[in-house]
């Protein structure tokens, strides 16, 4: 994907999300997050600060910094698959299509999941599958569309289908995909 294609897909994703405003399970208002992030503002809440740091370490080989941000997200939030885990699943879905995270990131998350109990059993399973590039059909459909050249009419039904998953799992996974696209855009620029 070119930088322009990533920017176009981000714009389409954001335009649909703004017509279906939702708050993530970690209480992130996506519009506010984007405004702060894109304008290089300062996040006043710790969740925003950690998400911003996560975006800076995704494609690095700094295992310690990656581990710090993963420890913050893994298991964070409520539900069978905590919101932080869902963010990571969405991010890994974009990674499967674009290679946006480093091998160190993959190895660090795998090591943490296999050696410690940082999340729920279901969250752990989803993440272990995500590391292997295996996702639900809803996640595959949307991540494929977001990493190709969709039109808004194709993207919106895929997005709405995923939004309906769980209490907040859908929006949390979509937020992770948004993070993956932001990271991809930064990498290409």
- The whole-number average pLDDT for the span 76-84 is 92
Q: How many domains does the chain have?
A: 1
Quickly state the pLDDT bin for 21 (edges 50, 70, 90): confident
User: Is the Cα torsion angle 167, 170, 175, 176 positive or negative in sign?
Assistant: positive
pLDDT of residue 39: 92
pLDDT of residue 94: 96
Distance CA 41, CA 37 (A): 6
**Residue 189 and residue 3 in contact, taking contact as beta carbons nearer than 8 Å:** yes
Distance CA 63, CA 59 (A): 11
pLDDT digits (tens, 9 = 90+) for 93-124: 999 999 999 999 999 999 999 999 999 999 99
- Indicate the average pLDDT of the chain: 92
- The whole-number average pLDDT for the span 59-79 is 94
Distances in Å between the Cα of 57 and the Cα atoms of 67, 79, 111, 120, 164 are 10, 27, 17, 24, 30
Q: Could you tell me which residues come within 8 angstroms of residue 159 by beta carbon, excluding any fewer than 6 positions away? A: 13, 16, 17, 20, 142, 174
The answer on pLDDT for 149 being more than 90 is: no
Quickly state the pLDDT bin for 152 (edges 50, 70, 90): confident
Q: For the ranges 51-65, 83-97, 102-116, 156-170, which has the lowest average pLDDT?
A: 156-170
Q: Could you write out the three-class secondary structure of 129-189?
A: HHHCCCCCHHHHHHHHHHCCCCCHHHHHHHHHHHHCCCCCHHHHHHHHHHHHHHHHHHHHC
Distance CA 185, CA 135 (A): 23
User: Does residue 23 sit in helix, strand or coil?
Assistant: strand
Domain that holds residue 126: 3-188
């Amino acid at each position: 994907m070119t930088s322009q294609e990533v920017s176009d897909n981000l714009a389409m994703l954001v335009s649909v999300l703004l017509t279906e405003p939702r708050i993530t399970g970690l209480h992130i208002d996506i519009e506010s997050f984007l405004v702060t992030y894109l304008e290089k503002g300062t996040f006043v809440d710790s969740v925003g600060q950690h998400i911003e740091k996560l975006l800076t370490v995704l494609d690095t080989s700094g295992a310690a910094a990656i581990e710090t941000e993963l420890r913050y997200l893994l298991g964070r939030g409520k539900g069978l698959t905590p919101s932080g885990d869902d963010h990571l699943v969405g991010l890994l879905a974009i990674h499967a299509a674009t290679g946006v995270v480093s091998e160190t990131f993959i190895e660090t998350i795998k090591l943490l999941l296999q050696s410690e109990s940082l999340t729920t059993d279901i969250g752990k399973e989803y993440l272990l599958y995500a590391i292997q590039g295996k996702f639900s059909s809803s996640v595959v459909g949307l991540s494929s569309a977001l990493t190709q050249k969709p039109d808004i009419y194709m993207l919106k039904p895929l997005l709405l289908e995923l939004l309906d998953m769980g209490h907040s799992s859908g929006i949390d996974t979509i937020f992770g995909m948004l993070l993956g696209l932001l990271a991809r855009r930064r990498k290409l620029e």
